[in-house]
Structure 1
Amino acid sequence: MSRTSVQIRELASRTGMTASAIRFYEASGLLAPAERAANGYRVYGDSAVQRLLVIQLAQRLGFTLESLRLVLNTPSGMPHDLIAQRIQTRLEEINTMQKLLRSQRKELLALSEQLEAEWTSGNCLTLTPLEPASASAQLELRATGRQSAI
């Protein structure tokens, strides 16, 4: 075994991953298959550490394994233009999710206030069906014969 080769437990230690996660990435084609030492143990080169750290970072940032596979398994290595495009797309997805979450938060705060007011006055809350196109903007609550829009 050469100086640059490490067994799976050492690779796991260097990356903070479990051995089973490393075997999973190998089986799913994200990590090159390990060589085998004379004793049958998997051994990995130094490039495996960097590859796994890239996978960890990408997953932490919300990239799918399939999108990683497309970037990592290109014949020319990791193409800068494709990586920049994927990052831009992910930023757009995050912006969309943030808008949705802000809208949901606003709606939940209004619902919470409405519920508290209705319960304080001894009323039960009845929800009415929403229009599909404007559901988040027109949540209507009916309590004791009157309607309130949030």
Structure 2
Amino acid sequence: MKIGELAKRSGLSQSRIRFYESIGLLKMVDRRPNGYRTYPPEALVALELIATAQKAGFSLDEIRTLVPGDLDRWDHGALIPALRRKVTEIEELETRLAGSKKQLVALIADIEAKPDDVDCADNARRVLSRMLGADLGGHVGGRKRASRT
């Protein structure tokens, strides 16, 4: 099939397909004497694999090492550990994101807890002071902060 049909069937732009070809991700291409590219049906499968791997968080370099030029030559021994490493990376990212979310939710609550008699600038100072105190383990300016219990 020609690149236009491959683009239509894959949902990718022709320039994206050419890019994958130029960086060695898509090797299933033949050139006709008139310069037109032609692709076998397996090229569609390869493009779907590339797109799926990118959505899963794999870089193009990682994909290049995992997806063989000929789909009949999968390196199962390398594929499974790579997939497991990616799962571990995603779990670590989830942990970091959960911590960031927790901090942001606490910050929102602290900002919204502005006393009625405090203006916005003073509230910002109050919130920043609490944030700095929390980041420094309760120490502000070299002194332990007084407990508010």
The TM-score normalised by the length of structure 2 is 0.77
Secondary structure of the 1:31 match is: coil
The answer for the alignment partner of 1:125 in structure 2 is 124
Q: Distance in 1 between matches of 2:69 and 2:15?
A: 25
Instruction: Tell me the CA shift for residue 73 of structure 1.
Output: 4.2
Partner letter of residue 79 of structure 1?
D
Counterpart pick for 2:84 among 79, 85, 88: 88
The answer for the alignment partner of 2:49 in structure 1 is 54
Seq. identity, %: 32
> Structure 2 vs 1, CA of residues 95 and 105 (structure 1 numbering), >3 Å: closer, same or farther?
same
Q: Structure 1 runs of 4+ off > 3 angstroms? A: 73-76, 128-131, 137-141, 146-149
Q: Distance in 2 between matches of 1:88 and 1:121?
A: 54
Q: Distance in 1 between matches of 2:40 and 2:22?
A: 17
Q: How many residues align?
A: 137
Matches within 5 A, 1:87-106: 87-106=83-102
The alignment status of 1:37 with 2:36, answered yes or no, reads: no
Instruction: Tell me the CA shift for residue 33 of structure 1.
Output: 5.8
The TM-score normalised by the length of structure 1 is 0.77
> Structure 2 vs 1, CA of residues 47 and 139 (structure 1 numbering), >3 Å: closer, same or farther?
farther
Q: Which runs of 5+ in 1 are unaligned?
A: 1-5
> Structure 2 vs 1, CA of residues 124 and 84 (structure 1 numbering), >3 Å: closer, same or farther?
same
Task: State the Cα RMSD in Å.
Answer: 3.1
Contact 1:9 1:19 in 2 (8 A): yes
Partner letter of residue 118 of structure 1?
K
Partner letter of residue 39 of structure 1?
N
Instruction: Tell me the CA shift for residue 37 of structure 1.
Output: 2.3
Q: Distance in 1 between matches of 2:45 and 2:36?
A: 20
Q: Which runs of 5+ in 2 are unaligned?
A: none
Instruction: Tell me the CA shift for residue 138 of structure 1.
Output: 5.0
